[in-house]
Chains A and B, each alone.
Chain A
């Protein structure tokens, strides 16, 4: 490995250096202003390091990392998402006592995601997956025992005492920390983090076993067509693919690995939900794309029919489960969790189209699937970050729940926010003039190209159901405030802006404008994506 090899992975190195700097900063002095500015600066430097990057060539840096245009673009997306979350979460984090490690964990999670998108090696996959996962666990559980009571009830007592003995009593004295929230039965941070942790660990175990089968089959961890062409045994191949798919399916909240999704979306802090919904899903999607493209890159090899039908079934089940479960929700965060599950189902239709590509002209079809996936991930990222950052405006760590009734009359109370939220919801629903519509159009195009009529019917059914709950939110926002039943609110107040900063507002506005821009004038973006693919 020469010095030249380090150039393509500059963003990764800058991120790692940033993490080290953050740790040093925490050790030297604890200051929210310092750490947030340092993080922002470091992320901007990372973004700047993309400037000289070569999007057209493929660089192999050790066998673990393969940097190509697509990988660079996705790394850019991950870092941008992290920047947006950092920009927007300031006041939210301010209400916590230990604030600094939040940014450290965010950067580490982004680093894990960046590794995931540039690797075609299973060990790289494992590294990225675990760094991302473990950092996320810490982030989800972050506000536990961490409330800064000074900001809650005006007294000057900090929630955490220096020595352990007082920690329990300190926790019991505070009426508004996570333990009390948990006692209210609304699902607390700890529950979400534990669910995520245990299920993530189980999924990782499956991934490891899959890696073992992979290695036994081909003698290497490199993801390429050797898995099918030079396989030791087709059963090992099937086992490897299935077990690895378990881990990937967990991260992507596909049926039947999706049980963590609503609880974690509900229980995690709002900025982290933005992060999970965008970064972790996007990174794993790209790895899955690389996996299938490389393994089945030889047009001679037959894709096992069982694989196609299994993934079709998974896609259909995910779409239906996600949409129908969201119908019943009045908790906005859970609703968005199920909706993101449904969107993952739509993306899996793309993967079915990918696997079915065979025969003459299939390279053009492959390009279409790649293009569709990149465009869909881009719009999905923008929309999800936008929605959750908008909602960050309205929650505090002490009451991170959001029920549908709290949105009543938002059009009349804060028209701008309601309009932006409507834009995001319309994009999720797939209404024209938004990016989400074009993304759905891409899916229809790819699916029709491969004659996946059953899946198209399921997508239509799912979209129809999805319209219902998205428009219901819009409907509630248009109601009059006086018409709200007090009992429906269950003791909560209507949403009022809590974290009123420039950061959250700007990010939300920018994302909404991007959504409309991609919907109305997508040609530059499409041209750029076609270059990458």
Chain B
């Protein structure tokens, strides 16, 4: 690896993951010491991780000049299974750095909001939470495809436990569905990864799963289409894109609040990250062929998610479908293959992360107070719990894309960027903007305004009663609102940070190598490994 690194912080990449794993184990066993010990350990571990991640930022370089310096900020490389050329290869660039910050911040927020919600077996809960975060950090930093796949699977198992043990009524079914969808699509990705490695060995003589080596591959078109599909299906399941999204409503609805937040705000981003990091650069020949279809899938997904969100009576399921809708924008923007659209997609990852996380926290808070998610049993909360209501309205408006907040910037950029490429898909997606307003405002209307349902009468005074936001919830909401306003008013720093990655991906994706391989043969020559 010949690229320079800006920081010499070699060791901390791998050890961050290890830190979180060990922290999780500590949290599990510390439950017997004190019932709050797991939560404290979880927060402290993640704060340390956040500190380490912040330390990777090249502070010496002004932010506008980041794009002209080296793309990779920190690097760690070590042999793992030399027989197959598998290494422990971790690297951080601007895009993954931003996603790491998002992950750990939301991890800390998850611990805060589950302070009172999780009472049983909280040690095991925080163990699973920390291991999920560790897996996600691994996914965002691994650049050896085998290692990436290992972390891809690792982040599934603790998530499965989170849903299956602390979830709501239908949790077993939802957890299993989530697990099966992701796992089977992951197996398809594994096949594609192995095919890539074998192809590399045929062309260059050595085995490698290294991202940088595989970028140099010259793949015959027929084979490339199938291999790309293997990756794409796995990431589309995670994103989730339209035909493969059916796990999402169940998993999000039945998960506990912290589980929903991690799922919606972070796990979905791994799918988008995978497409940006792996699918686009490695298969430049295939992208022009599939881009129109995928962009249309994204656009239709926007409308489909919005319509289904509008039709829901279960508040949490509504928010889950809004995730499907918003991620459609990401798919549209990424496959437009120009800088504006892709930056819009990247911004959408963060804006959606915060707004959806906040909405899930609010819904979870409502469920904790009312023990129901049914919107027909809600109404008039504006008078009862003003702070809760303001927060709900704010994030509902953020979700629909009000200018001044992050989601607007993201969606606008995506639409502007993809209009020259595929006007029809863009028009369809913009209709989704209108539908987003419909479902957001309808939700706000049903929950916050109108008549208060009778059962909320408290016994003593005959007045209605709903506990307002607790202080910790207030602070969480406030900070996420600030983040969204910041992203909406000052989005440029984000673009500066991710510019390098976007440039690299776009140049690799549009630079279809001229294939010398005359044969479009489907077969790999069996040359042994």
Contact = CB atoms under 8 A, between A and B. Distances in A.
Interface stretch (A58-66, A252-260, A447-455): A447-455
B526 A464 contact: no
Contact of A444 (B81, B150, B176, B194): B194
Contact of B188 (A445, A460, A468, A475): A460
A460 B187 contact: yes
B528 A523 contact: no
A449 B187 CA distance: 17
18 contacts: A361-B526, A362-B528, A367-B528, A368-B528, A368-B529, A426-B157, A431-B157, A441-B190, A445-B84, A448-B195, A449-B198, A450-B526, A460-B187, A475-B164, A475-B172, A478-B164, A522-B81, A527-B83
Nearest to A459: B187
B528 A478 contact: no
Given A432-B153, A445-B194, A464 B184 contact: yes
Interface residues of A, number: 42
B61 to A, nearest CB: 36
A478 B526 contact: no
B173 to A, nearest CB: 10
Contacts of A357: 526
The 7 closest A-B pairs by CB, nearest first: A364-B528, A365-B528, A432-B150, A464-B184, A361-B527, A432-B153, A368-B529
Contact of A441 (B80, B154, B194, B195): B194
A357 to B, nearest CB: 7
Interface string A241-259: 0000000000000000000
Interface string A411-439: 11000000000000010000111000100
Contacts of A367: 528
The binding surface of chain B is classed by DSSP as helix
Nearest to B199: A448
Contact of B150 (A433, A445, A471): A433
The binding surface of chain A is classed by DSSP as helix
A233 B149 CA distance: 50
A363 interface: yes
A195 interface: no
B183 A523 contact: no
A451 B523 contact: yes
A333 B176 CA distance: 22
Contacts of B154: 432-433
A456 interface: yes
Among A431, A468, A527: residue with most chain B CB under 10 A: A431
Contact of A460 (B79, B121, B164, B184): B184
A460 B84 CA distance: 21
Contacts of B157: 426, 431
Given A432-B150, A478-B165, A364 B527 contact: yes
Interface in B178-231: 179-180, 183-184, 187-188, 190-191, 194-195, 198
B180 A365 contact: no
Contacts of B329: none
Interface string B77-120: 00111111000000000000000000000000000000000000
Contacts of B527: 360-361, 364-365, 449
Given A431-B157, A471-B179, A478-B165, A361 B184 contact: no
B217 to A, nearest CB: 15
